[in-house]
Amino acid sequence: MTMVSEVMTKNVKFCKPHDSVTTAAKIMREINCGSVPVCEGNKVIGMITDRDIVINCVADGKDCNSVHCHDCMTTNVITCSPEMDVHECARLMAEHQIRRIPVVRNGEMIGICAIGDLARINIYANEAGEALSQISEQHTH
């Protein structure tokens, strides 16, 4: 069994609740992904996505420098434990249509597992690919 802790990214970039969505967007650009955890201390309180920013800020003509992450983040965050099996993690991603899951131990974020982390392990490529295709299909409607 391969655990999430073996494939996760440990040095996670995140935003604070009162950071501007511009700050979140710059982090997304820097790490080339579409979602970033929002943390108070080491506790994950939300996830903010590029889509959240576009729909809740840009489309409304709001100033991205004055809208805070907590104003448009998703608060019901799906997390996993470092001991979770990577197959289960892939299933969670497919079920919830997400590409990145914060890895939490004792309420604190210790890493993040991305669909790409699962795809790097050849034996899980089919599962990760299936999860990704399900995620992509959902977003084309």
What the chain holds in terms of domains, given with CATH numbers, is 4-139 (3.10.580.10)
Two tokens at 40?
């108070």
Two tokens at 96?
């919830």
**Model confidence, pTM:** 0.83
* Region 47-64 average pLDDT: 96
- Does the pLDDT at position 25 exceed 60? yes
* Region 22-50 average pLDDT: 96
**For residue 56, which amino acid is it?**
N
CB neighbour burial string for 51-76, b if at least 16 within 10 angstroms, e if fewer: ebbeebbeeeeeeeeebbbbbbbeee
Are 36 and 27 contacting, i.e. CB atoms less than 8 angstroms apart? yes
Q: Name which residue leads in pLDDT, 34 or 138.
A: 34
Q: Which of 29-33, 59-63, 121-125 has the lowest mean pLDDT?
A: 121-125
